[in-house]
Amino acid sequence: MNRVYVCSCFGITEQQVKKHAEDGACTPRQIASACKAGTDCGSCVRRIQAILGRGACPRRELVDQGASALAQLDEAA
């Protein structure tokens, strides 16, 4: 398996960023909260933004509409 590192400061791979996005982290700040990527030198923030921009965040649509993602998920349950 070929690992592509996004954040060399904390050893975070592109695959890890994608996994956090699948788990609901839709912004670079949320990715930082999940794994610290982007919180040291900051050189990876644009790369993280690019990864998030390409992928489908399951909650992004709700957030973009200004709705609370958790409230919407609770209603659906």
Please report which confidence band the pLDDT of residue 69 belongs to, taking 50, 70 and 90 as the band edges. very low
d(CA 7, CA 56): 21
Distance of CA 48 to the CA centre of its chain: 7
What's the chain's Rg over C-alpha atoms? 13
d(CA 51, CA 68): 23
* pLDDT tens digits for range 1-59: 678 999 999 999 999 999 999 998 989 999 999 999 999 999 999 999 999 986 656 55
